[in-house]
Amino acid sequence: MSRKKSREFAFRLVFEKFFHEPDADLEFADEDFVIADEDKPFVNELIGGVNEHYDEILSIIKDNIVGYTLDRVYKIDLAILVLAVFELKFYPNSTKEVVINEAVELSKKYSTEKSFSFINGVLSKVVN
């Protein structure tokens, strides 16, 4: 599996977490989306980091969305933003351009046709 697939897996876990108890340990169950053993440490770092910095991440997102409140942002878009903001602000091993590009690609795959521009705009503000 690649880092791209690992990010997609982590995004799915973040999204799933929105619908469960805050401290629930989740394992994404999809037999078509199997994560390789060598990729588990990266996914665990992403999920662990999101959990550790969750409130800070939400604050950063809130400060960088214009005309919206967090509760108006689609949950899929919010999950993508949460994961990307973690990597941009708290995970120094990631390249900013790659993180933004992969977040945009996730939005094109999972969200509305206009979401990618929203996500790109928010993440551009976060970086600057």
pLDDT of residue 23: 56
CB of 15 within 8 A of CB of 79?
A: yes
pLDDT of residue 25: 54
- What's the DSSP call for residue 28? -
**Which structure tokens are listed for 12?**
């799915």
The candidate with the shortest Cα–Cα distance to 117, out of 126, 108, 109, is: 108
What is the distance of C-alpha 35 from the center of its chain? 17
Q: Which amino acid is at 106?
A: L
**Which structure tokens are listed for 50?**
């999101």
3-127 has which CATH code?
1.10.940.10
Q: Which residues of the chain have pLDDT under 70?
A: 1, 20-33
pLDDT of residue 21: 61
Q: Which amino acid is at 38?
A: E
Q: Global pTM?
A: 0.89
